[in-house]
Amino acid sequence: MSNTKSKAQRLKSIKRKRIVLTIIESLFAALFIAVAVVAFVPSVRSQAAQKLAESSFGKKIIKMFAKEKFDNTIYDSEFDEAIIETNDMEYNYSGEYTEFIMFGIDSRDSTFDAGTNSDSMVIVSVHNTTGEVNMVSLYRDSYLRIYKNDGSYYLDKLNSAYNVGGAAGAINTINKNLDLQLKDYVTVNFSGVAEIIDSLGGIEVNLTDEEVAQINKHLRSTLSSTGEYSPKVTASGKNVHLNGLQATTYCRIRKTTFYDPENGSRVNDDFGRAARQRLVVMKLVDKAKKAGMTELQEMMNTVLKSSTDGQEQIIKTSFSMDEMVDMLPIIFKFSLGKSSGFPKKLTTKKIGTMDVVLPKGLSRNVKILHKFLYGEEEYVPTDAVEEISNDITYATGIGNDGGDDNVDDTVWGITDEEKESQEILNDDYSDMNFDYDDKGESEYY
């Protein structure tokens, strides 16, 4: 009887184990399916990543795996926010917007501090509630008041501010001239942009025959500076695929017209160059949002390359790891909004040996900027901006021309007849020597 009972107990025990094993197998199967779905279905993956980024546990996990590498490679631990200056403003947008300035440099030796001009400057403004991102390119040849770190100032091209005072000096110059409250920056070395683009599988842009010719003409300069190889671009038209080196060359060219894909307006010269750079940034952001796990990992590995490992540094920023992680929920829900350039109302002129971009009234342009970024219909510039505006007008003879601020009368987006009437035909300034980092000696720039 005892033997029979023992056998029954053994059978019951075995049955229990089988049930447990079945449950475990089912759990593993469900987990595998969940991982597969998250890994290969973009919408589900994005939702899962967003939930992770929004949770305190998820943020701790991200910091645990990324903080040391982040701090050692791209974080600017020497950046002192205490030296950042702003004008005495009635407005404060910091609670509603997360903003920073993105500098583009072309440094062959990973020089991110003072001593190199900024090839491009883009204000990035993210609405903290809606996640909408607006961007404004600051034209590098804009003639503004440059502030040195000792408090002194002088009139010169905006791109020289980074050369004189590094990121902090350039931020102070931008804040004081434009009534902004920027406190953070991201500097991108163009020599590494190609790698980031390639890690995301390239980008698609619309190309004219002239743009294709310009890319192929100057591609050899990009190849010689990077030591890499790329085939030429073989097609024009809509949604032409560009690899990293081709795209980097594309966003540098300026000797052919850029056609805005949103409204078809034409942009020429250095303004076209700035517009191409904004477009490439927007394309990269869009690709990153849709990227797979492998692509994102490769992109992060590229970004987090350390110059101490013998690799050229690509990005440097004042944002700490904690700040970056806190911004993740905003990043996941953001949508690309509008883009523009500054100054909006402008003309070009030769001052001494320099060809510069002059605002038709700095205070007027600041009003337009604040309307674009913040929706302020009746913004009143500070006395500091009014002083700078008067200083520029006195020195150059160019001020507010009384034009309609609701009409885009810059050097693009107008008809040939309007250009002729305003005496700003392409032929009037296409041969100007804009003072690029190579002092205008290379046709490439």
Question: pLDDT digit string (tens) for 367-403?
Answer: 999 999 999 999 999 999 999 999 999 999 999 887 7
Task: Determine the pLDDT at residue 200.
Answer: 84
Task: Determine the pLDDT at residue 17.
Answer: 64
Task: Determine the pLDDT at residue 418.
Answer: 37
In percent, the amount of the chain with pLDDT more than 70 equals 69
Please provide the average confidence, as pLDDT, over all residues in the chain. 77
Task: Determine the pLDDT at residue 267.
Answer: 81
In percent, the amount of the chain with pLDDT more than 90 equals 29
pTM of this prediction exceeds 0.95: no
pLDDT band of residue 364 (cuts 50, 70, 90) is: very high
**Mean pLDDT confidence for 230-253:** 90
Task: Determine the pLDDT at residue 197.
Answer: 87
**Could you read off the pLDDT of 92-132 as tens digits, one per residue?**
888 889 899 988 876 555 556 655 667 788 898 988 888 78
**Could you read off the pLDDT of 162-201 as tens digits, one per residue?**
988 889 999 999 999 999 999 999 888 776 778 888 888 8
- Contact by Cβ (8 Å): 295, 200: yes
- Contact by Cβ (8 Å): 168, 197: no
- pLDDT greater at residue 20 or residue 323: 323
**Could you read off the pLDDT of 278-310 as tens digits, one per residue?**
788 778 877 777 766 667 667 777 776 655 555
Name, of 264-273, 318-327, 331-340, the range with top average pLDDT: 318-327
Q: Please state, in angstroms and rounded to a whole number, the distance separating the CA atoms of residues 218 and 158.
A: 26
Say if residue 148's pLDDT is above 80: yes
- pLDDT greater at residue 272 or residue 421: 272
What is the residue type of 286?
Answer: D
Say if residue 445's pLDDT is above 50: no
Q: Please state, in angstroms and rounded to a whole number, the distance separating the CA atoms of residues 175 and 385.
A: 10
Say if residue 432's pLDDT is above 60: no
Q: At what angle do helices 160-178 and 383-396 cross, to 10 degrees?
A: 120
Say if residue 276's pLDDT is above 60: yes
Task: Determine the pLDDT at residue 434.
Answer: 32
**Mean pLDDT confidence for 18-47:** 53
Say if residue 10's pLDDT is above 90: no
CA angle, 180 then 181 then 184, to 5°: 120
**Mean pLDDT confidence for 20-39:** 52
pLDDT band of residue 246 (cuts 50, 70, 90) is: very high
Task: Determine the pLDDT at residue 293.
Answer: 61
Task: Determine the pLDDT at residue 179.
Answer: 97
Task: Determine the pLDDT at residue 94.
Answer: 81
Q: Which of 4-18, 227-241, 276-290, 403-417 has the lowest mean pLDDT?
A: 403-417
Say if residue 151's pLDDT is above 70: yes
Task: Determine the pLDDT at residue 437.
Answer: 34
Task: Determine the pLDDT at residue 153.
Answer: 94
Say if residue 269's pLDDT is above 90: no
Task: Determine the pLDDT at residue 187.
Answer: 85
SS (H, E, C) the chain: CHHHHHHHHHHHHHHHHHHHHHHHHHHHHHHHHHHHHHHHCHHHHHHHHHHHHHCHHHHHHHHHHHHHHHHHHCECCCCCHHHCCCCCCCCCCCCCEEEEEEEEECCCCCCCCCCCCCCEEEEEEEECCCCEEEEEEECCCEEEEEECCCCCEEEEECCHHHHHHHHHHHHHHHHHHHCCCCCCEEEEEHHHHHHHHHHCCCEEEEECHHHHHHHHHHHHHHHHHHCCCCCCCCCCEEEEEECHHHHHHHCCCCCCCEECCCCCCEECHHHHHHHHHHHHHHHHHHHHHHCCHHHHHHHHHHHCCCHHHCCCCCEEECCCHHHHHHHHHHHHHCEEEEEEEECCCEEEEEECCEEEEEECCHHHHHHHHHHHHHCCCCCCCCHHHHHHHHHHHHHHCCCCCCCCCCCCCCCCCCCHHHHHHCCCCHHHHCCCCCCCCCCCCCCCC
Task: Determine the pLDDT at residue 52.
Answer: 64
**Mean pLDDT confidence for 337-347:** 86
